[in-house]
Amino acid sequence: MEWSSEAGAVMRKVPFFVKKRVRKKVEAYVAQQGRGTVTVDDVYAVKKGYMENMEKEVAGFRVENCFGPGGCPNRAGPDEDLAGRIESLLAGSDLRGFLKKTVNGPLKFHHEFTVTLADCPNACSRPQIRDIGIIGAAVPGLTDNPCSMCGQCVEICREDAVTLDENRQMPQIDVSRCLDCGQCAGVCPTQTIQTIQRCYKVLLGGKLGRHPRLARPLPGCYDADQVLDIVGRCVDFYKQHSTGGKRFAQLAAENGPELMAALEDLIHYQKKG
């Protein structure tokens, strides 16, 4: 679908948290009329209807993903549809029904429980400012394969986490600096460095607004089933404690130890080779 430059300019002013939905609706509206180009009038027509029916559009939750599944070469996490599984989980949690009962007045998009996935530490989808942020990780480890000391791993690492030990003729990875992007393993011609685990890091309790807060990372790296377990428990926690539309991030800030206790048996620590 093509967009005229005027339509694109209007679209850029739509708030980021509804932009994807509005774009989809505009394109569906234009396609329905058998046209292939979006004009500025189409954007205004759809935007008007959308704002007038905002409460009906509030699903109670939102799951977003970066462009990783579309073929981004930086993708580091497991190759699977975790976003789809989270969406199904949240769809079965009746978050809209919960919000209808607890929020005073009409529902707004900012009431929605948000989960955002980024498939690598570049974090393009901004998981740090969502209720739950998930970041795909490729954990590097050393094998017994001899190193050719070519230096490509050192060169590609943006965190300065890799050094070469001239005496042992081996690389060393500083795990305190490493972000698990997997780039060093990707360029190593001898597979001295390999990806030993593909998993997800989980951040809890981020938000923007009047009192912004960056989501805090849980220790460890998790598989999809474990992430779903964490998301499920966070939703339970949210439904047990939230009143009057209070956001999960605020609960996480106010009841941090209680939230961690609810997750305690799920939290584990990352092992690196």
Closest distance of CB 227 from ligand SF4, Å: 16
Contact between 131 and ligand SF4 by CB under 6 A: the answer reads no
Find the shortest distance in angstroms from Cβ 97 to ligand SF4: 32
Distance separating alpha carbons of residues 145 and 54, to the nearest angstrom? 58
127 binds ligand SF4 (CB under 6 A): no
Which of 172, 142, 176 has its CA nearest to residue 159?
176
- Least distance from ligand SF4 to the Cβ atom of residue 225, Å: 22
The yes or no reply on residue 194 touching ligand SF4 (CB under 6 A) is no
In the chain, DSSP finds a helix count (H) and a strand count (E) of 11, 9
Least CB distance to ligand SF4 at residue 86 (A): 16
- Choose between 95 and 118: whose C-beta lies nearer to ligand SF4: 118
If one asks whether residue 252 binds ligand SF4 (CB under 6 A), the answer comes out as no
Nearest to 194 by CA among 141, 157, 144: 141
Token pair 């230096």 is at which residue?
151
Residue 119 lies near ligand SF4 (rule: CB under 6 A): yes
Q: Which stretch binds ligand SF4 (CB under 6 A): 42-50, 187-195, 227-235, 239-247?
A: 187-195
149 binds ligand SF4 (CB under 6 A): yes
Alpha-carbon gap, residue 89 to 84, rounded angstroms: 9
Number of residues that this document lists for the chain? 273
Rounded CA Rg of the chain: 22
Least separation in angstroms between CB 167 and ligand SF4: 14
Q: Which is nearer to ligand SF4, 93 or 195 (CB)?
A: 195
As a dihedral over the C-alpha atoms of residue 101, residue 105, residue 109, residue 112, rounded to 10 degrees, the angle is -20
Sign of the C-alpha dihedral computed for residues 271, 195, 161 and 189 taken in this order: positive
Tokens at 95, concatenated: 């978050």
Judged by beta carbon, residue 11 or residue 124, the one nearer ligand SF4 is 124
CA 144 to chain centre: 34
Q: Closest separation between CB of residue 265 and ligand SF4, Å?
A: 28
| DSSP symbols for 186-238 | HH-TT-SEEEEEEEEEEEE--B-SSS-BPPEEPSS-B-HHHHHHHHHHHHHHH
Helix (H, G, I), strand (E, B) or coil at 182: coil
Q: Is 82 in the site for ligand SF4 (CB under 6 A)?
A: no
Total number of residues binding ligand SF4 (CB under 6 A)?
A: 41
Residue 133 interacts with ligand SF4 (CB under 6 A): yes or no: no
Stretch that binds ligand SF4, among 56-64, 174-182, 230-238, 251-259 (CB under 6 A): 174-182
Q: Which residue has the tokens 């935007």?
A: 47
In the range 38-77, which residues lie near ligand SF4 by CB under 6 A? Answer: 66-68, 72, 74-75
Q: Which residues bind ligand SF4 (CB under 6 A)?
A: 66-68, 72, 74-75, 118-120, 122-124, 140, 147-153, 156-157, 159, 161-162, 164, 171, 173, 178-184, 187-190, 192-193
